[in-house]
Amino acid sequence: MWKFIIIMTGFVCLFSTAKGQYFQDFNESKTDFAENNMPGWATRTGDGEITFNQRFTGNSVVLKIDPQKDIQNIWYAFMHRDISASIDIDQLLTPEYELRMEARVKISHGPKRINMYLSELGNGGYLREFDIPEAEKWHTISMVTERFQPRKGKPLMTQISLMDWGISSIYTLEVDYIKVDLVNKNQAHPAFGLPLIYRPPIEASDAFDKVYVATKNVSLDSLWPDLNMNSLLNAEDSTKLLHLNTSGFTLLAWDFSSLSAHEIATVGSGQLEIYTHQISRLADSPKDFGELRICEIYGDMQDWDADSFCYNQFVGDNKLENKINTQTIIDTKMQAKKGAKTVVTISKPVMDRLLSGKTKGLAIMPLGYISASFYTNDFPDKAPVLRLHLAN
């Protein structure tokens, strides 16, 4: 979902050094930094219904989200400002120069992704996602733009965003500092974190080293928590199916035990592929409605018996949000035609967690109203598969 609407602010850059660099570490002892008042910065929300507050600690700024009214979990929030006064646009427009953005951040829940965005107001820009693996620890992230050519005389915006983290908790993103430098792209610059493209491209299926069929697949339904749903059959031909609806979702797991220790590090993203049996959705769905939401599974799946496993066994005395990451890896439309394949890219950080065992599998969740079914691993040519790259 493309969610980053840049809105004009009347603020000018207050904390900068020489032309070509913007820096703010939020360490100023300023009385005008107060609850929901960040001088020079604008804050915005969109799509979902949330409460967004900001707080200055004296050493950092804390962005606080209460999303509990956003039933669909499609919210986003960001802080941004115009940094034009700190950057030599004439030099930026020469072929040798780009912008480098760096920030130090801490998240309340993890792993979660945040975004950094550099843009010309109203004309798009350069956005990268960053997977922050751990909560309550400081992480430094950075990116360097590619062929970024904003128009002279237009506001140049720097932005940090968070989105879709969940709806069951109060979430915070703490920012220690932000800096944007004008850099020569032919020189080496410190790199922190892994900038991820949004939306990631779909690679050709034959570009991957390994293909793994899901060894376990099961559908669960919160409305029928004690029932095993793997006996769900297509009434016409008795085909066993995986299903998805407002209360139902599917879990997929893979066995990577055949990988040797030196192969486990991935060198790129992975690819999930599933095959449609049937899908029903509204003819005129609202934005981000009636799609698939792919998420990471945290709950242990080693002792599954697909023919007896049920929702209560999976969740137990816990909550679903503690078993499945409430932030999507990616959302996608499901192909409508019977037998058609739906393919999505699974990012490198998620693939690393899958291969290490920290993430136990992938969940296919509903985004908005949808009723769908797809084929199980009983069908070799239509089974859910995960493709991946291995280290050389």
pLDDT at 82: 96
Grade residue 194 by pLDDT with cuts at 50, 70 and 90.
very high
Distances 281 to 249, 286, 367, 391 between C-alpha atoms, Å:
15, 11, 11, 41
pLDDT at 288: 82
What is the mean predicted confidence (pLDDT) over 172-188? Answer: 97
pLDDT at 262: 63
**275 within 8 A of 340, measured Cβ to Cβ:** yes
What is the mean predicted confidence (pLDDT) over 108-130? Answer: 95
Instruction: Give the residue among 135, 99, 130 at the shortest CA–CA distance from 115.
Output: 130
What is the mean predicted confidence (pLDDT) over 131-141? Answer: 97
Q: Is the pLDDT score of 3 beyond 70? A: no
Q: Is the pLDDT score of 13 beyond 60? A: no
pLDDT at 232: 76
pLDDT at 163: 95
Q: Is the pLDDT score of 22 beyond 70? A: yes
Grade residue 14 by pLDDT with cuts at 50, 70 and 90.
very low
pLDDT at 94: 96
Distances 61 to 30, 55, 216 between C-alpha atoms, Å:
13, 6, 44
Counting residues of the chain whose pLDDT is more than 70, the rounded percentage is 89
**254 within 8 A of 344, measured Cβ to Cβ:** no
